């Protein structure tokens, strides 16, 4: 792994327990994951074999395994994989979930392929400045006709832009910097980069057919927000309702805390 990935691996290993604890009793994050799953399951057949990049502590891998999928979960943070392994063992999912410490920049090391889908949730791929490093390796792990579903951090997040009203301009403009921004986690610093849907589509190129593009938490609060859903449920539900009506429409489908984008790998027949 090239720098700064060792710092990322160490930071996320250190925060693995906090990561799971933060997700407990978090209705907004639960809602966001449910929308991602709904999107993914429109294109992936029951029983499919899924390669997950940036699997973290295994929340998504466990959910998908319980739905009958086989998941090969990969991450670069040993601390995350330890917690994932514990969940797999506790739920007796070892026949459904396999683990591998591997970077998404080194997919040639992935075992068990080719897969029916390559999945990455909640912005793990934003830790790299050039997504083509990953995309050009996908044919080695993804079968023809397979699906790619990634959840990406875009430059436009209305919630962060609204922070201009409070004078917090550092957060307001961090996504708009074309060079990205520096994240600080558990004493480690590493860059985060933001991508528009147009940039992602151009990176995938003509061998991948765009299946769907959906904004995630456009008007509804971002993943970091845990309390609004609890303290102001009517406002929260109204914002979620607005999201549901606009998440598929341009330009909203490229805005939000994240966007969900799916492609089908058709190297021969799609032009």
Of the candidates 62, 73, 63, 68, the one whose C-alpha atom is nearest the C-alpha of residue 48 is 68
Domain-embedded: residue 244 = yes
Poorest-pLDDT segment among 16-25, 171-180, 234-243: 171-180
Would 63 be classed as within a structural domain?
A: yes
Report if residue 271 sits inside a domain: no
Q: Please check whether residue 85 lies inside any domain of the structure.
A: yes
pLDDT for residue 268 is more than 90:
no
- Whether 4 shows a pLDDT value over 90: the answer reads no
Please provide the average confidence, as pLDDT, over all residues in the chain.
94
Q: What is the mean pLDDT of residues 144-154?
A: 98
Host H or E run for residue 211: strand 208-216
Number of structural domains the chain divides into: 1
Q: Which domain holds residue 143?
A: 5-265
Contact in structure between 256 and 148 (CB atoms under 8 Å): no
Is residue 144 in some structural domain? Answer: yes
Asked, for residue 270, whether it belongs to a domain, the answer is no
**Residue 72: phi, psi to the nearest 5?**
-100, 105
55 domain residue, yes or no: yes
pTM attached to this predicted model: 0.95
Mean pLDDT of the 190-201 span:
97
Segment 104-125, tens digit of pLDDT: 999 999 999 999 999 999 999 9
Task: Kindly report, residue by residue over 67-97, the tens digit of the pLDDT.
Answer: 999 999 999 999 999 999 999 999 999 999 9
Decide if 186 is inside a domain.
Answer: yes
Domain of 59: which CATH number?
3.40.50.150
């Amino acid at each position: 792994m090239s720098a700064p990935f060792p710092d990322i691996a160490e930071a996320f290993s250190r925060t693995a327990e906090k990561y799971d604890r933060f997700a407990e009793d978090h209705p907004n994050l639960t809602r966001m994951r449910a929308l991602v799953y709904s999107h993914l399951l429109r294109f992936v057949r029951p029983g499919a074999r899924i390669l997950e990049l940036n699997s973290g502590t295994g929340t998504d891998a466990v959910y998908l395994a319980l739905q009958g999928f086989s998941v090969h979960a990969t991450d670069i943070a040993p601390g995350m994989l330890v917690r994932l392994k514990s969940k797999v063992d506790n739920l007796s999912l070892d026949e459904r979930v396999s683990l591998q410490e591997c970077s998404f920049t080194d997919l040639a090391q992935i075992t068990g392929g080719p897969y029916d889908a390559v999945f990455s949730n909640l912005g793990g791929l934003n830790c790299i400045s050039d997504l083509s490093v990953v995309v050009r390796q996908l044919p080695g792990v993804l079968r023809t006709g397979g699906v790619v579903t990634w959840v990406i951090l875009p430059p436009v997040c209305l919630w962060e832009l609204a922070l201009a009203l409070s004078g917090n301009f550092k957060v307001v403009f961090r996504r708009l910097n074309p060079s990205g921004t520096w994240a600080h986690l558990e004493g480690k610093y590493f860059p985060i980069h933001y991508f528009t849907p147009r940039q992602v589509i151009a990176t995938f190129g003509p061998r991948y057919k765009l299946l769907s593009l959906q904004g995630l938490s456009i008007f509804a609060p971002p993943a970091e927000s845990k309390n609004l859903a609890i303290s102001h449920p009517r406002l929260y539900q109204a914002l979620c309702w607005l999201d549901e009506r606009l998440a598929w429409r341009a330009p909203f489908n490229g805005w939000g805390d994240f966007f969900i984008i799916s492609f089908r790998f058709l190297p021969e027949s799609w032009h």
